[in-house]
Amino acid sequence: MILSKCTMLSGLKSIVALGMMFCMLTSVIAEVFPPAFPIGEKSKFSSGGDIRIRQVHLDNIPILADPPGVTRDGENHFFRFRTRFWGKLDASENLGLYGRMTNEFRHYEKPENNSMNALDEILMDNLYLDVRNLFNETVDLRLGRQDLIYGTGKVILEGTPKDGSRTIYMDAVKLTHKAMDKTTVDLLGIYNQPENELIFRSEDRDLTGWDPAYNDLTESGGGVYIKNRTWDQAPTEAYYLYKHESDWLNRAGDTMPERDTHTLGGRVVPKFNDRFDGNLEAAYQLGERGDDDMNGYMLDALLNWHPPVMESWAPVLGVGWYYLSGDDPDSSDDEGWNPLWGRWPQYSELYIYAWDADGAGRWSNLSMPHVDFNFAPNDRIAFKNLLGYMFAPEDNGPGPGDERGLLLTMRADLKLKEGLLLEKDELFGHLTLELVDPGDYYNVDATADFIRWELSYKF
């Protein structure tokens, strides 16, 4: 992708300014507090951070919209600059405190009116207290703003979906019971507000809503998540999750009803032998949305084969199926799958935008058989590829059929350098290309594209 001179200069100035700011900050901290230093007999402080630069181009994203034949917002071409700095205090082996500050701003080439101030919002995206080994070393407690990721992220990963990958935090309490052999039980309580309250220079950015407006939607809930490794060849997980979504305002100013969702699910990760392994997760939901009943289900299945050829490249060929129930348009109930705290790109950076018209990141009403092919020629580069064909279990699109279209994703992850400026720093990045050839679920013919490169420095 060819960059204009103004884009290059703007991006370069921003990178240099942020780089100088972070270098100065880390230099001061390194003088006062070395990266890991004792502050007591069993106490230690450590710190670090990362700088991430991305350039993104996307166009012709098909959406479910009225009138039909519409794509999402036309061509988008922008840069993202994210900086994060963290500090961790382990006061003892049983007590710790962690905090992380984040800033991300964007410079847009297309459309030209969306660029952000270089400082934008400076926010706390993690701030939590760890209390470990309570009750005869059987319980750990984490209290505060934290990242929560379970399984492959189909139900719990993203607490702030409307700011993209700037943050994923949840304001939560996590209690881990570890008394049973090879089994842990996590009890979760979550309360995510539409706006970050731990912030400097607030820009009133909506974090949890459904459409482009400020929705004033609060997400709360929790549940229990159990992990068991009794069988090393087949680790299992089981969970019950409850989520409450408050009523919210759509961009027309109408109040949308609140939603209560109960989800029961499980996951197994079998390793059959050295050549075959896989993943299987299934879940069922029921609940209420306003006066309507809700029920939905999800299946995520994958079988991997590690062929006995070019084994130094670690080739993996996978066959999978991802299924999410859809809402029957002829029923007064809501049968569509609710992704809970799973509103992130999942299988596609491109296709998450296709749900913008009916719920930001709302993966639902999808049946996608797919094949995967991954390999790593060396320890510096790894390739991940997916080819899938997407259907809509419920034919509720603007077009005459149920074929969402053909999806192709290709990604190369690059490890560029370690020890570049500091002993344990890392320079890495990736290249991503995704295409969707829309089917008759939509009334558009143009091929959708998503292209991104990223360069990250971690210290």
Percent of the chain topping pLDDT 90: 82
Which segment of 107-121, 154-168, 307-321, 403-417 scores lowest on mean pLDDT? 107-121
30 has a pLDDT exceeding 60: no
Give the pLDDT of residue 16.
43
Q: Which residues of 348-365 are buried (b: 16+ CB within 10 A; e: fewer)?
A: bbbbbbbbbbbbbbbbbb
13 has a pLDDT exceeding 70: no
Q: What is the pLDDT of residues 62-75, one digit of tens each?
A: 998 765 556 777 89
Please report which confidence band the pLDDT of residue 164 belongs to, taking 50, 70 and 90 as the band edges. very high
85 has a pLDDT exceeding 70: yes
User: What count of other Cβ atoms lies within 10 Å of the Cβ of residue 254?
Assistant: 8
Which tops the pLDDT comparison, 123 or 31?
Answer: 123
Query: Residue 427 corresponds to which tokens in the numbers above?
Result: 């320079």
Determine the structural domain holding residue 123 and report its residue range. Answer: 5-458
Query: Which helix (H) or strand (E) element contains residue 59?
Result: strand 43-59
Mean pLDDT value of segment 85-104: 97
Q: Are 121 and 267 in contact (CB under 8 A)?
A: no
Mean pLDDT value of segment 254-263: 96
Which segment of 113-122, 168-177, 314-323 scores lowest on mean pLDDT? 113-122
Give the pLDDT of residue 42.
79
Please report which confidence band the pLDDT of residue 40 belongs to, taking 50, 70 and 90 as the band edges. low
Give the pLDDT of residue 18.
45
Q: Are 54 and 95 in contact (CB under 8 A)?
A: no
Amino acid at 226: I
268 has a pLDDT exceeding 80: yes
Give the pLDDT of residue 65.
75
For residue 346, give the 3-state DSSP assignment: coil
* Mean pLDDT taken over the chain: 91
- pTM value is 0.90
Please report which confidence band the pLDDT of residue 419 belongs to, taking 50, 70 and 90 as the band edges. very high
Give the pLDDT of residue 20.
45
Q: Give the number of domains in the chain.
A: 1
Mean pLDDT value of segment 403-432: 97
Which segment of 81-95, 103-117, 411-425 scores lowest on mean pLDDT? 103-117
Give the Cα separation of 151 and 206 in Å (integer). 27
Give the pLDDT of residue 357.
81
Mean pLDDT value of segment 215-231: 97
95 has a pLDDT exceeding 90: yes
Give the pLDDT of residue 113.
81
Please report which confidence band the pLDDT of residue 38 belongs to, taking 50, 70 and 90 as the band edges. low
Q: 394: which residues sit within 8 A by CB, 6+ positions away?
A: 326, 327, 328, 329, 335, 336, 365, 402
Give the Cα separation of 276 and 183 in Å (integer). 25
Q: Measured between alpha carbons, how far is residue 180 from residues 97, 138, 150 in Å?
A: 27, 9, 20
Q: Measured between alpha carbons, how far is residue 68 from residues 10, 63, 396, 449 in Å?
A: 38, 9, 12, 20
Give the Cα separation of 71 and 386 in Å (integer). 23
117, 121, 122, 123 alpha-carbon torsion, rounded to 10°: -160
Give the pLDDT of residue 69.
56
Q: Are 168 and 160 in contact (CB under 8 A)?
A: yes
Q: Find which of 12-26, 52-66, 263-277 is predicted with most confidence, using mean pLDDT.
A: 263-277
Residue 409 burial class via C-beta count within 10 angstroms: exposed 0-12, middle 13-18, buried 19 and up: buried
Amino acid at 80: R
Give the pLDDT of residue 161.
97
Secondary structure (DSSP) of 175-221? EEE--STTEEEEEEEEEE-SS-SSEES-----SS-SSSS-----EEE
Please report, for the domain that includes residue 79, its CATH number.
Answer: 2.40.160.100
Query: Which helix (H) or strand (E) element contains residue 39?
Result: strand 36-40
Give the pLDDT of residue 6.
47
Give the pLDDT of residue 49.
97
Q: Residue 10: what are its φ and ψ, rounded to 5°?
A: -60, -45
Give the Cα separation of 164 and 361 in Å (integer). 10
